[in-house]
Structure 1
Amino acid sequence: MSALGIIPARFASSRLPGKPLVDLGGRTMIERVVAQARRARLARVVVATDDERILDHVRGFGGEAVLTRADHPSGTDRVWEAFDLLGRPGGFNCIVNIQGDEPFIHPAQINALVDLFAQRPTPAIATLIKPVLTDEELFSPHLPKVVVNQFGRAMYFSRYPLPYQRQHPSHEWLAHHQYYRHLGLYAYDPETLGELTLLPPSRLELSESLEQLRWLEAEYPIQTVITELDAFGIDTPEDVARARQRLGAG
């Protein structure tokens, strides 16, 4: 069993340009992501970036990085190009797409996906979900929700809470149904990853602005794993301030 971790890291960001290089308590965000990923059961961890400043920085602290195109529409496409630039090395049971803006990602979350690929049958795609605990989470369009079947496979992803409970007022929904939010950590079978990059955008994907709906519409099954651990993505200067506070860095 061998897993490859790839971390997409773009320099451009509308709300926080250069965010992979933002300082968080004396270490950059991308350095912290790499350090956390190396604690997981990954045979290799590679940063896939579109900027030579990030490339040089990662190599400077002893990390592995490749320079990809700047025009990829998604992190999935960047991960596939990185795998291609590495020579599509054999022997990996899965490729894990690790968000480059989550410096507090827990190794156990990565391991939960990797472990699925040691089982039979192995999934084509796997991702993490977390129980929704508050109405704020439930109704936030920035936190996609997922509906799963009895086997833990994703049926649909939406920015709106599904199912709609006609018989209960919305402030009681959490008391009558277990909702899950989606965390953007994926693992793919290498062959499946290549196939996904060939799919055209789908109607549901364009409607919800959620790439994973493209895969479901193309009938690729997505296996989910429940985690109780939270995610902490950094997208704004306010997120940076909260991360520094968490680290005790002011």
Structure 2
Amino acid sequence: MSFIVVIPARLASTRLPNKVLRELAGEPMLAHVCRAALASRAERVIVATDSTAIADAGQIAGAEVAMTRSDHSCGSDRIAEVVTTLALRDDQIVVNVQADEPLMPVVLIDQVGQALMDDPGAGMASARTPIVDAADFVNPNIVKVVSSASGRALYFSRAPIPFHRASGNQEVMGLGYRHLGIYAYRVAALKRFSAAPVSALEQHESLEQLRAFDLELGIAMVTAAQLPGPGVDTEADLIAVARLLEGPGSA
């Protein structure tokens, strides 16, 4: 079994208009994302969008393009439309690569796709990395994940989990894992996930992935072999990522 990559992309970005088409090292941001996806083991790479400008950029970068509705509230819903339109098999694995992650490592795309191939009972897969900074462990903007011995996610939270009772969380190094927001789905699981209402846990924590627990969709977790570079949300992020792409000595 293999996997495909779908890159959901839209122009509407509040903090950075036309974000995925902004130039980075002489190319649109989307081109860098497509290049990483095309270098992975994916059998197909598809840009899912409602924008003809994004569609043109995706095709120039070598990806397929699937036009979607413009009313999707999140990337997973946009991908759900694509897998339905393309009539993909229920057991097909789809990796969601975000269009604003131009420094996404190829190896991480492959890892997440492979994690779902290796766990036939799971509906989803995602990635984690050890937390080594105590400040990160208590930061609610950094999502934590606790996994079982078999590698399945048990819970995601903005709270510091697991709680180290003996020290009152004063000794946390090596205990916590940060969740990395890259997902793989089986098509059947993605359709269920997208069609389901927002769950109570999801609403409380403001974490979409918690819906999977109410649906009893197992989430296979893999520890990232290489961390993604910073994503792009603001003009300052764009400048910082451009410098990384252009290499040492860039102004």
Matched residues in 2 for 1:246 and 1:127: separation? 25
Cα distance, 1:56 vs structure 2: 2.1
The alpha-carbon deviation at position 162 of structure 1 amounts to 0.8
What is the CA-CA distance between 1:188 and the residue it aligns to?
A: 1.1
- Does structure 1 residue 188 correspond to structure 2 residue 185? yes
TM-score by length of 2: 0.91
Contact 1:126 1:186 in 2 (8 A): yes
Q: Which amino acid aligns with 2:209?
A: Q
TM-score (norm 1): 0.91
- 1:204 alignment partner in structure 2: 201
Which range moved further: 200-209 or 51-60?
51-60
The correspondence of residues 1-250 of structure 1 with structure 2, limited to 5 A, is: 1-85=1-85, 87-90=86-89, 93-119=92-118, 121-168=120-167, 170-174=169-173, 177-231=174-228, 232-248=230-246, 249-250=250-251
| Bigger Cα displacement from structure 2, 234-243 vs 134-143 | 134-143
Contact 1:2 1:91 in 2 (8 A): no
The CA deviation at 1:170 is 4.5
Structure 2: state its 5+ residue gaps: none
The residue identity in structure 2 corresponding to 1:246 is: L
Q: Which amino acid aligns with 1:69?
A: R
Q: Please say which of residues 214-223 and 49-58 is displaced more in the overlay.
A: 49-58
Matches of 1:136 and 1:230 in 2, distance apart?
A: 19
- State the one-letter code of the partner of 2:235: P
**More off after superposition, 113-122 vs 128-137:** 113-122
Residue 116 of structure 1 contacts residue 123 of structure 1 at CA under 8 Å; is this kept in 2? no
Which deviates further from its counterpart, 165-174 or 55-64? 165-174
Alpha-carbon deviation of 1:49?
Answer: 1.3
The alpha-carbon deviation at position 145 of structure 1 amounts to 0.8
Length, aligned pairs only: 247
Instruction: Give secondary structure in 1 for the equivalent of 2:164.
Output: coil
Identical counterparts, % of pairs: 36
Aligned-partner SS, 2:221? strand
